Amino acid sequence: MEEKKVIAGMDPDMLAIHLATAGIDERYARRLLYWVYRRGIRSFSEPDDIPVRVKSALEERFITGVNPPVSSVRSSDGSVKYLFGTAGGLSHETVWLPEGRRMTVCVSVQSGCRMGCRFCATGRDGWRGNLTAGEIVNQVVGITDPFTHIVLMGMGEPGDNIGEVIRACRVFTAEWGLAAGRSKVTVSTVGVTPAVRRLLDETEVNITLSLHSPFADERAEVIPAERRWPFTESLELMQEYDNSRRRRFTVAYVMIKGKNDSGRHLEELRRLLHGTGIRVNLLPYHPLPGDSEKSADEKTMMQFRHQLVTSGVGASVRRSRGADIAAACGMLASGGTTRKRKG
């Protein structure tokens, strides 16, 4: 028996082709995408504006691809961490982060990770597989929480699954998809140069580069990808991009006490970013079990921010959310027993 097609992750043209092949009027494509992406239907019996005969044909050849999480846990600050599973057995986590009027969904793009970053518990556990565009989208559609922003900053490296990530971003931003808007979607990467180029050329989403250190030799010790794709290549691509549509380019900088919070790190950040329009997002470090490293204190982080801003580099300090449920930045894993960091 032919395997049923998954609608989640498709665009109107792709769905129209599959509908026509199944003998279903392709004009139903956009209507079906509305029900899948905007209404999150799990069964074709739910739409009330599609004929019964068409719904019966859909049930035979398609599935919506919208599935609820396996489990969830709520933080004392209101954040919620969800565990999802795929039909192929890949576990991955998603976090919903409410903060005033801003409600962000942080989604994963892989189960595990291949980047091998020293501070990444998920990477230490190994890579189990890429998520499809539909499985990435399902992390937003499959929960009932409202959202204003979507960040691809969870498990996995977007640059290592760039084709599916770009497809998911199109669904997130397109009017036939979730219509979140290009300025409300952000992709975080360690700087896989060819993937950054594709994100710039094929999407209009915001891009965040996980830096760790402005010195290449220090960064390479922690982020092995630096040896293959120097972070300066990604910075140059963002700096040279014609940003007339005002995409936001950011450097994520996790501050570790005594490691990357010195005056020379600050001066090099200033030198690299002054006049580029690229912002700095300063984040606290969340130690892994058995980790002797500590986060820079709040005073140091605020001083870093002040010095960057007064020198003309946009900067902010991001408050930790969901730490008590291992849902803060750098703490996601496939099941909650391990933790992962990007930055």
Catalytic residues: 93, 329
Q: Are strands 71-74 and 102-106 parallel, antiparallel or unpaired?
A: unpaired
- Adjacent-strand bridge partners of 295: 256
Spatial distance between the Cα atoms of 167 and 10, rounded to a whole number of angstroms: 8
Spatial distance between the Cα atoms of 191 and 208, rounded to a whole number of angstroms: 9
Task: Measure the CA angle with vertex 131, ends 126 and 132; round to 5°.
Answer: 155
